[in-house]
Structure 1
């Protein structure tokens, strides 16, 4: 069904060649061919989404076929059905009901744990470059184990094997639509959207920086570092109270414990170093200017004394 709809989209988009589509979206022609025939669909919708967006844009430019074009959100539903990973809405509603009851009980008995759950769930949400909420796989502190276990039992979170470590599991939201069905989580996400955007932008910028060969011009300046640090702190629990306080940076109050690991840490450290070098250059220039002004004033006074 998915392949049939995709072949129809190719036709509505003007029947571009597999090679042309592959070059446009940055995958191999064999990959596009497999998707078009229904073989070897990717594990995640985000992998095939750029191709669908590109074909849809071409198709909708023809006003005579707009009514026949499937929207990208409809494609996502079709993909979930095709890959057998589409939880029925009643199941999501049941999960949301159980999660809200857990939140009410926890808020009464251990309000600190509810706050920790909020941080945990927000760490599982990202914002794409187009402003759409997406799933994010976080790095979890050991202290989060109990909350993770409870939310997995409820169904809000799911565990998946870590491809890089067979003895490790990764945590993610069971389904992005849990945000829609659980009003408390929806409120948390909406309130945190500005800082979620900042964190996602940092992760996306770091990845592009690394892919492009780490150009210095793409690093953050001191203003961007300070603002992003504030967002990272807002998305983290009280790390100092937890006894995990780590090394601080020059710009912003965030520490290494607040920075997502991997490429982001490297990007952040490089931005800090570059901004510090810039600051020192500016300080040297300012010192030279002050010295010149002082010398000029002193020379003027000396000349004034001589002429007098």
Structure 2
């Protein structure tokens, strides 16, 4: 039974945490160095092989390498590279049938001698399925059998006993992320593509465009130049966006009046004024293709609650309010 101290000394805990992070940083620095050296060729070859396949990336690994592998498979899939994780033990009991000759296998083992991987290695060799390995075992069974070896440098584990996988798993995760991002960039994967795989949650909302949430047509709070202030206030009140856009004779947006503008001019006789007397000229606008997060940034920067959406000719095509961004989960 493991004995526990009654209370952890804060100084010792922080020193341990900093030591762990510094040790892992050293591992990442070593990985960065070999990527700019002997690992450069194999890494580029791995990216090319994965980019050229017609099938999927099959990620596999056991233990902590397996947990990291599952995350790498998820990252690849979410960035445009079809991928999934196959547990090597389950593969030995029927799941090898999930792997086709159009796929590529990405096998992970720090030592390269995980016996559980033998079945999937043999299967890849039997059916000529490309095998890419992530390992630190240069002369290991996995490295010898692989078509491409991403050989990770030896590095000290953060565990004081040198036993618990810490630095090693971080390096595996980093090389997996590097593969995913390199493939993303090679394919020209865009924010729009990213949204296709992330339709839900805050991330999906942040990748929405203003055109998807803006109010259009009769819902837009617009009045022509020369409109009396009482009539403009009626439109502002009826539309409930806290603003009203002002158009010239060509339908181009030339100004805006907000609740704040009206409040600041209450000392005047609004009944005798027209919109051009108090409107803010050259108002802040966004395009329909603007990301929702960018629209939120404009609202926050200028401390306003709504934006008129205009086309290339500066004609209004919609209006977006802070509440719309709040509703989809961006704000």
Q: Pick the TM interval, shorter chain.
A: under 0.3
* Higher Rg of the two aligned structures: 2
Q: Which has the higher strand share?
A: 2
TM-score normalised by the chain length of structure 2: 0.23
TM-score normalised by the chain length of structure 1: 0.25
Higher relative contact order (CA 8 A, sep 6+): 2
